[in-house]
Amino acid sequence: GASRAKFTIEAVEDLRLSLEKRLGVCLLVATGRPEDVLLELVKQNVQPRGEQAEQDTSVNLVCQREICHEELEVDKAVEASLEGFISDGSRFNFEKIWGSLLYEPCDLPFEGGINGIPTTFNKFRREVEAKCEVPMPLEAPSQDRLGSLQTASVTRGRSYSATSMPTLSGLGYTDQQVESTTTVHPNSSLPKGYRGGETFALHRARQWIWDRDMLRTYFDTRNGLIGEDYSTKFSPWLACGSLSPRYVALECRRYEEARVANKSTYWCVFELLVRDYFRYFAARHGRRIFYLHGTAGRLEGGAERKWNRNPELIAAWREGRTGHPLIDASMRELGNTGYLSNRGRQNVCSYLSIDMSVDWRVGAEFFESRLLDFDVCSNYVNWINGAGLTGGRLNRFNITKQSRDWDEKGEYLRLWVPEIRNVPNQYIHSPWEMSETAMEECGVIIGSDYPFPIISPTANCEFKRTSRKQRDTSKTKQDNCDTSRRMKSLAVGTFCFKS
């Protein structure tokens, strides 16, 4: 969407300013297909194939290693384009480097490396925490270390600029879309004044961890729904490469040494490990993370799931008018701000893919179009996992219970669904239960002022589920097993850094 495009432009501009300040070089910025714009640059600086080069030329192209199919196809196109042009007397090296990870793939303790990672996160976590070390983040480059750098010669062509930046209108966004990016919704939970780029990312990390001391209580606040500080809000900058997960982990270690080591400091880094797992999972399973039936895709007993693309259900879900207040509040926040809490994402995923039985890819694609912090691996692996398509247990969320548990007084619901603002607390999570008298007293008529649930609150009980007693017993056992690990901190060795 336009908001993420603007955020990306800001991030690139911030990088350009940083390079000019640190190294005295300018960053060439181009728009277009990578295989075309890189070829244009090479043509102006390298002899073409079939012509004898005056001197040996080495063309070294370095990029971050991609994981998913469409991005890998771009890599192939770039390589073919440049190899087809560069002269026989020149050398062409295309190096792809793993980045934006906590742990190096080569350090994974599994036979077969990435292809040997476990199918469940907990098994992955136990092995990695016990046997792997987090590399220290690299220092920012300096002119002393890199020596003299020169910007490539650009004498013709319109793709590149060393001074100007692309605009949203130039990228094809409409006036209305451009206008929508000029203001931030007053209810947004993103940090005030946020913008793309490393400068703001480091400011946010320093502010949240150190100045406001929010890391101390993160484990207790992480399921919040309102405000900018219940969670780190690092994800938009992590997603576009403006913030290193290793930098965040190191700041957590420094915080433990300076202030306190507790389950909150552990959990902040634990969630970076989850992010790693999504990338490795996507790398292992390839295109299957986009398949309708996921990487497993069958119910117990081998039956295939039945899906639909009912336009009425899809539109109600997207627009936040399902009649279930928590779903509607969550979808309105996403649509208006480009952000949604982790708790909200889990609930709307479960509701669409399990309760509605709508093709989960509809939801994943909508998230891709709206999220400021979209990255392909985290988004799609989260969705197939939430839809129960990775071979693990199907985890259907009870939306009404979730609403009561995490928004007891209905503050979040009233913030985003103002039409039910006057509904009494006892009905705020399930307003369809009000009697006609109760509706008249609060002035909210269900079916008129706010819709009846588009599907029954008890819909979709076709899936086999363990009994409550079994679930409670299993949860207690798991909690007992994991408590000591959760309470560990970086300082006592749950996560180790390479020296």
Confidence of residue 26 (pLDDT cuts 50, 70, 90): confident
Q: Give pLDDT tens digits for 342-374.
A: 999 999 999 999 999 999 999 999 999 999 999
Q: Which long-range contacts (CB under 8 A, 24 or more apart) does 106-113 make?
A: 107/132, 107/133, 108/132, 108/280
Backbone angles phi, psi at 155, to 5 degrees: -115, -15
**Contact (Cβ atoms closer than 8 angstroms) between residue 230 and residue 244:** no
CA end-to-end span of the chain: 42
Q: Which residue, 204, 442, 326, 278, is CA-closest to 334? A: 326
- Tell me the angle at which helices 245-258 and 198-206 cross, rounded to the nearest 10 degrees: 20
- Look at 31-40, 207-216, 234-243 and tell me which has the smallest mean pLDDT: 31-40
- What's the mean pLDDT in 471-482? 39
Q: How many CB atoms lie within 10 A of CB 318?
A: 19
283 pLDDT above the threshold of 50: yes
Q: Give pLDDT tens digits for 82-137.
A: 988 886 667 889 999 999 999 999 999 999 999 999 989 999 999 999 999 999 99
Secondary element (H or E) of residue 173: none
215 pLDDT above the threshold of 50: yes
Confidence of residue 296 (pLDDT cuts 50, 70, 90): confident
How far lies 420's CA from each of 118, 177, 320, 374, in Å?
A: 45, 29, 13, 31
What rounded mean pLDDT belongs to the chain? Answer: 89
| Res 158: pLDDT | 59
In our burial notation (b when 16+ CB lie closer than 10 A, e otherwise), range 16-43 reads: bebbeeebebebbbbeeeebebbbbbbe
461 pLDDT above the threshold of 70: no
| Res 299: pLDDT | 57
| Res 465: pLDDT | 41
484 pLDDT above the threshold of 50: no
93 forms bridges with which residues in the sheet? 60
Q: Give pLDDT tens digits for 326-349.
A: 999 999 999 999 999 999 999 999
Q: Which residue, 268, 242, 243, is CA-closest to 253? A: 268
Q: How far apart are CA 165 and CA 262, in angstroms?
A: 44
| Res 45: pLDDT | 76
| Res 85: pLDDT | 85
Residue 64 DSSP code: E
Dmax (CA) for the chain in angstroms is 90
Q: Give pLDDT tens digits for 380-405.
A: 999 999 999 998 778 899 999 999 99
Q: Give pLDDT tens digits for 164-198.
A: 999 999 999 999 999 999 999 999 999 999 999 99
How far lies 32's CA from each of 8, 38, 167, 169, 178, in Å?
A: 15, 10, 13, 14, 20
| Res 116: pLDDT | 96
| Res 107: pLDDT | 94
467 pLDDT above the threshold of 50: no
DSSP string, 278-306: HHHHHHHHGGGGGSTTTTS-B-TTSPBPP
Burial class (CB within 10 angstroms; exposed 0-12, middle 13-18, buried 19+) of 89: middle
How far lies 167's CA from each of 10, 35, 151, 229, in Å?
A: 10, 21, 23, 31
191 CB-near residues (< 8 Å, 6+ apart): 200, 204, 207, 228, 233
Q: Give pLDDT tens digits for 175-184.
A: 999 999 999 9
Secondary element (H or E) of residue 39: helix 34-43
| Res 49: pLDDT | 62
| Res 414: pLDDT | 98
**Contact (Cβ atoms closer than 8 angstroms) between residue 205 and residue 251:** yes
Retrieve residue 157's tokens.
Answer: 């062509």
- What's the mean pLDDT in 55-77? 91
Q: Give pLDDT tens digits for 411-436.
A: 999 999 999 999 999 999 999 999 99
Q: How far apart are CA 351 and CA 242, in angstroms?
A: 33
| Res 182: pLDDT | 96
| Res 46: pLDDT | 76
Q: How far apart are CA 458 and CA 390, in angstroms?
A: 24
| Res 150: pLDDT | 63
Q: Which long-range contacts (CB under 8 A, 24 or more apart) does 180-187 make?
A: 180/2, 180/3, 181/2, 181/3, 181/6, 184/337, 185/336, 185/337, 187/333, 187/336, 187/337, 187/415, 187/416
- What's the mean pLDDT in 217-223? 97
Q: Pairing mode, if any, of strands 90-97 and 57-64?
A: parallel
Radius of gyration of the chain (CA): 25
97 forms bridges with which residues in the sheet? 64
| Res 54: pLDDT | 58
Q: Which residue, 237, 142, 154, 159, is CA-closest to 198? A: 237
50 pLDDT above the threshold of 90: no
Confidence of residue 159 (pLDDT cuts 50, 70, 90): confident
| Res 297: pLDDT | 63
